[in-house]
Amino acid sequence: MASPTSMSGIHSLTRTIPLPGRGPRATWKPIPEPRSVSAPRLGVEIGRRRLRKTRAGSAINTFDVPVLSDTMVVERLHRFREGTTSEKTYLAMYSSIFGGITTNPANMVIPMDDHMVHRGHGVFDTAAIMDGHLYELEQHLDRFLTSASMANIRPPFDRSTIQTILVQTVAASNCTEGSLRYWLSAGPGDFLLSPSGCPQSALYAIVIQTGHPPEFKGVGVVTASVPMKQPQFAIMKSVNYLPNVLSKMEAEENGAFAAIWLDDAGYVAEGPNMNVGFVTKERKLVMPRFDKILSGCTAKRVLVLADSLVREGRIQGVEVRDITVEEGKAAEEMMLIGSGILVKPVLQWDDHTIGDGGEGLVAEALFDLIVDDMKSGPSAVRVSVPY
């Protein structure tokens, strides 16, 4: 059994110990009490160990969970954050619950009774921060508000107020390279299924510092066995990412970067947090239609930027259509596309080598186009942050 001082021991803090001569083996030794029980990785003492007798006469090794004062809770939250690397990473958070911005990671918490926490009734989106600008904020905001409407969440503020809050949160963070993540939730209220007891929806946003920009390096993918979401849920960016998490874990267990979903008709769909594109034998850039998958802001921008490759004669055209697995595996190039990775070439899909097994030239050109767009694209895709 795990020791109560280990993280895993937290789940087995109350143990029944056989009394001498009554259990299968008389290995029991009295525990000097009280003895502190701590969770080293949390950096806090979580109780004082005691030995108690049940009514039936058996002894229970248990401990008293401390009831903390407000000051102690704050102090412990601070100590918890100090013990993690995230203190340097989470630079600012906005919460409509406290109606402002905090730059202290220990304060970056949300209410337990928020329906997003216990029922998954929330939506989210992101935007990259590069060179002091938010990339494709407008496009991500469009999708964010569409997702909220599909999830029946009426935002607490209008669009321009939300945009102002997001930009000011980035300004307060002083972050010039990183990402902004934001959530709209049904809000706090109670623990019931219906959100009717949640009087006010909530907006949360966090600015995360990222160390290095995505690199252009080939990866392998596998076909996902975890079922993909039904179209109604796949096209909205809700917080229900369990299938996505399990599919990412499936990929990692198989030494791959991502697992690719096929839709119910067997066509190529998407990855757990990215879209997929191919360069066919006819040298066309093709992507699956967006009616059963998330409408990726990066994929849509890639489709626009790829026009310059058509003009230069490097590809013959751009198409959004159904793609079979056979066509995908026979493609000259395959790539994953998303705001977290930009454009990532795929070198292997299951046991099949894509193209010549190296990073593709079209994928590389698209990666460069997106990076240039992030650094010097038009104002329609770059919002300057007033630090």
Ligand X SMILES: Cc1ncc(COP(=O)(O)O)c(C=O)c1O
Residues at the site binding ligand X, with contacts judged by CB under 6 A: 244, 270, 273-275, 294, 296-299, 338-339
Tell me whether residue 62 or residue 275 sits nearer to ligand X (CB atom).
275
Nearer to ligand X among residue 215 and residue 351 (C-beta): 215
Lookup result for tokens 């596998």: 222
Please report how close the Cβ of residue 231 comes to ligand X at its closest, in angstroms: 12
344 in the Ramachandran plot: left (φ > 0), alpha (ψ -120 to 50) or beta? Answer: beta
Q: Which is nearer to ligand X, 187 or 296 (CB)?
A: 296
**345: phi then psi, degrees, rounded to nearest 5:** -70, 140
- Between the alpha carbon of residue 257 and those of residues 12, 271, 326, 371, the distances in Å are 35, 10, 20, 21
* Residue 184 vs 299, nearer CB to ligand X: 299
Closer to ligand X by Cβ: residue 80 or 349: 349
Task: Report the nearest approach of ligand X to the CB of residue 137 (Å).
Answer: 12
**In the numeric block, which tokens belong to residue 6?**
């280990």
Least gap, CB of 207 to ligand X (angstroms): 17
Backbone angles phi, psi at 53, to 5 degrees: -105, 135
- Least Å distance, CB 113 to ligand X, is 26
Backbone dihedral angles phi then psi of residue 373, each to the nearest 5 degrees: -65, -40
Write the single-letter amino acid at 287: M
| Residues recognised as catalytic | 237
Q: Minimum distance from CB of 23 to ligand X (Å)?
A: 52
Q: What is the DSSP string of 193-214?
A: SSGGG--S-EEEEEEEE-SSPP
Distance of CA 85 to the CA centre of its chain: 17
Dist CA 226 CA 274 (whole Å):
16
CA angle (17, 20, 23) in 5-degree steps: 60
Which residues sit opposite 260 in a β-bridge?
223
